[in-house]
């Protein structure tokens, strides 16, 4: 999809409609409901009274034997809707309406090949409809008898007033359905054309010119838990505490681990396999995991990536480089002392590296917040630390602050083989991610690819 808003392909539109099908159904249902309420409240009920009259010849009127009955019948049909007849009806019933309105409510029809005329009156009041029809036939009989003395007029049949459907129900609600559907599709089109977020692999590859090397499905929480509740995961035997809910993937950490979500774990194993291919090409052993903005799930993504690397027999170190807002120690429920303390020489290196209950996985928390985090990360001590760690571990995963807000990810580019950018589907906007990519490349950093988080698509 072109994000400029000038063109949307039909495939993009179909995908947008399928994603927002609930909105389409809601708007359509609201239009039908509004039509029903309007019909109920605004459209007044109309009642129709019918009668059939027969016009015959007086057998005593021999001199009129050769008259043209067809012409007379046509005249009688027209006579019902004359001002003269209508005024007599109004005078007799003292109706407070215009003559034109009454005439419009009168319908007449000659049954072809017969001497029968069907006449009906449509009126807002049931009783008045019956009275008007009585008066109408009486006025017609009187006037027609004066004009055509040779005729005898008989009333053959009378139908009591019944509710008349002024609007055909099927047509009315069908039109409401079509209008609601078209309106909802138009709204979806507007939303899609103005939406600047990245929602799919196609969006990322088309707009960022980067490959998606991992897709993490949207995880739906099955229950609400206290943020301070510690949960022990049966397959991953360490405590996990839910950090402050900052949106994105991080807020689902306790659910993912506690429920042993194999779909989620398999998604990270696919990411691990793709990174193995990249490792063979670039000898990538130190990997930076970052994002353009907070709340896109990079900390949990870095943690899960480190877990699956360790589960595959790799000696793996997860380093929390976000000294401003560290979260790794909360995810693994370990001591906060770590990287900043080692760099400031307040503790030894082995004291800053924590062992986990997962074989081959080691954690280095961010440590206490220093006054100048960037200066500490860009120091010569950090350079020597990364070199030393590279000698001891097969893989080092660096969880950094969002590159769009802070410079740690740029500074660490010198120490790592490449970056993995986490993009949250439907949350990360194109401009911010492009800015992050530009900042990384500005300092010569390599970008391995994109990890699409919270994707609504299936993991393949």
Return d(Cα 56, Cα 406) in angstroms, integer.
101
Check if the beta carbon of residue 53 is closer than 8 Å to that of residue 137: yes
Is the pLDDT assigned to residue 296 strictly greater than 80?
yes
pLDDT digit string (tens) for 12-28? 678 778 878 899 999 99
Q: What CATH fold (topology level) applies to the domain 201-455?
A: Rossmann fold (3.40.50)
Q: pLDDT value at position 158?
A: 87
Which of 439, 332, 339 lies closest to 385, judged by CA? Answer: 339
Tokens coding 320: 């929390």
How far, in Å, CA of 377 to CA of 381, rounded? 8
Sorted by where each begins, the domain ranges of the chain are 10-43+168-194, 46-164, 201-455
How many Å apart are CA 295 and CA 424, to the nearest integer? Answer: 9
Largest CA distance in the chain: 134
Buried b (16+ CB within 10 A) or exposed e, 328-363: bbbbbebebbbbbbbbeeeeeeeebbbebebebbbb
pLDDT at 339: 93
385, 436, 439, 443: which is closest to 414 by C-alpha?
Answer: 443
And the tokens for 120?
Answer: 């009906």
What's residue 200's pLDDT? Answer: 75
- CA 18 to the chain's CA centroid: 8
Closest CA to 382 of 350, 338, 426, 415: 415
How far apart (Å, rounded) are the C-alpha atoms in residues 140 and 144?
6
144 within 8 A of 152, measured Cβ to Cβ: no
In the three-class reduction of DSSP (H, G, I as helix; E, B as strand; rest coil), residue 220 is classed as: coil
* pLDDT exceeds 80 at position 444: yes
pLDDT of residue 313: 92
Token pair, residue 199, equals: 């929602």
Q: Where are the alpha helices (DSSP H) in 208-320?
A: 253-258, 262-282, 298-311
Q: What pLDDT score was predicted for residue 219? A: 56
On average, the pLDDT of the chain sits at 81
Domains 46-164 and 201-455 share a fold: no
Residue 84 has pLDDT above 60, yes or no: yes
Nearest partner of 335 among 360, 355, 307, judged by Cα: 355
Per-residue pLDDT tens for 237-292? 333 333 344 333 333 444 444 555 567 788 888 999 988 888 777 788 899 999 98
**pLDDT number for residue 75:** 86
Question: What pLDDT shows up at residue 247?
Answer: 39
* pLDDT of res. 63: 54
Q: Which residues contact 33 (CB under 8 A, 6 or more apart)?
A: none
**pLDDT 10s digits, 87-146:** 888 888 888 888 898 999 899 988 887 889 999 999 888 888 899 999 999 988 888 888
Among 357, 387, 428, 454, which residue's Cα sits nearest to residue 210?
A: 428
The answer to whether the CB of 36 falls within 8 A of the CB of 30 is no
Reported for 376-385, long-range contacts at CB under 8 A and 24+ positions apart, including other chains, are 376/323, 376/340, 376/343, 376/344, 377/321, 377/323, 377/408, 377/411, 377/412, 378/411, 379/343, 381/343, 381/345, 382/343, 382/415, 383/414, 383/415, 385/342, 385/343, 385/349
For the cut 50, the answer to whether the pLDDT of residue 303 exceeds it is yes
Q: Looking at residues 43-59, what average pLDDT do you find?
A: 83
Q: What is the pLDDT of residues 363-404, one digit of tens each?
A: 999 999 888 888 999 899 999 999 999 999 999 999 999 987
Q: pLDDT value at position 394?
A: 93
d(CA 266, CA 272): 10
Class of domain 46-164: alpha beta
Q: Which helix (H) or strand (E) holds 118?
A: strand 116-123
Residue 314 confidence (pLDDT) above 60? yes
Structure tokens at 130: 């019956």
For the entire predicted model, the pTM comes to: 0.60
| Partners of residue 234 on adjacent β-strands | none
Tokens representing residue 443 in the block: 């300092």
The token duo for 66 is 């050769």
Other beta carbons within 10 Å of 2? 12
Contacts of 382 (CB under 8 A, 6+ apart): 343, 376, 415
Cβ–Cβ < 8 Å for 180, 26: no
pLDDT at 237: 36
């Amino acid at each position: 999809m072109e994000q400029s808003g000038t063109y949307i392909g039909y495939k993009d539109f179909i995908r947008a409609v399928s994603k927002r099908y609930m909105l389409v159904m809601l708007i359509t249902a609201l239009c039908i409901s509004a039509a029903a309420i309007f019909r109920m409240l605004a459209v007044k009920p109309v009642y129709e009274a019918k009668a059939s009259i027969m016009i015959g010849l007086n057998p005593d009127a021999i001199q009129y034997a050769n008259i043209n009955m067809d012409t007379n019948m046509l005249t009688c049909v027209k006579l019902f809707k004359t001002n003269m007849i209508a005024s007599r009806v109004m005078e007799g019933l003292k109706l407070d309406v215009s003559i034109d309105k009454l005439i419009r409510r009168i319908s007449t029809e000659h049954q072809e090949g017969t001497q029968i005329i069907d006449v009906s009156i449509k009126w807002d009041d049931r009783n008045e409809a019956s009275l008007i029809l009585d008066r109408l036939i009486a006025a017609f009989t009187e006037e027609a008898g004066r004009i055509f003395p040779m005729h005898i007029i008989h009333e053959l049949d009378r139908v009591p007033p019944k509710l008349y459907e002024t609007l055909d129900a099927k047509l009315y609600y069908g039109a409401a359905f079509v209008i609601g559907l078209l309106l909802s599709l138009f709204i979806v089109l507007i939303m899609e054309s103005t939406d600047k977020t990245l929602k799919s692999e196609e969006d990322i590859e088309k707009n960022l010119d980067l490959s998606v090397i991992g897709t993490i499905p949207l995880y739906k929480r099955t229950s609400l838990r206290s943020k301070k509740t510690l949960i022990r995961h049966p397959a991953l035997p360490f405590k996990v505490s839910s950090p402050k809910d900052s949106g994105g993937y991080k807020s689902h950490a306790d659910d993912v681990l506690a429920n042993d979500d194999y779909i989620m774990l398999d998604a990270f194993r696919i990411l691990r396999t793709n990174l193995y291919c990249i490792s063979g090409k670039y000898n990538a052993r130190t990997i930076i995991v970052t994002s353009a903005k907070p709340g896109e799930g990079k900390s949990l993504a870095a943690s899960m990536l480190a877990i699956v690397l360790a589960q595959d027999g790799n000696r793996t170190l997860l380093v929390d480089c976000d000294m401003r807002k560290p979260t790794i120690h909360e995810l693994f429920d370990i001591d906060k002392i770590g990287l900043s303390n080692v760099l400031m020489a307040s503790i030894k290196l082995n004291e800053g590296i924590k062992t986990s209950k997962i074989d081959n996985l080691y954690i280095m928390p961010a440590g206490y917040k220093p006054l100048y985090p960037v200066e500490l990360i860009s120091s010569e001590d950090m350079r020597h630390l990364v070199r030393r760690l590279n000698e001891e571990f097969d893989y080092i995963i660096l969880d950094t602050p969002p590159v769009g807000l802070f410079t740690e990810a740029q500074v660490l580019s010198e120490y790592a083989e490449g970056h993995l950018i986490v993009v949250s589907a439907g949350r990360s906007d194109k401009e911010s991610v492009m800015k992050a990519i530009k900042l990384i490349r500005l300092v010569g950093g390599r970008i391995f690819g994109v990890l699409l988080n919270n994707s609504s698509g299936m993991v393949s």
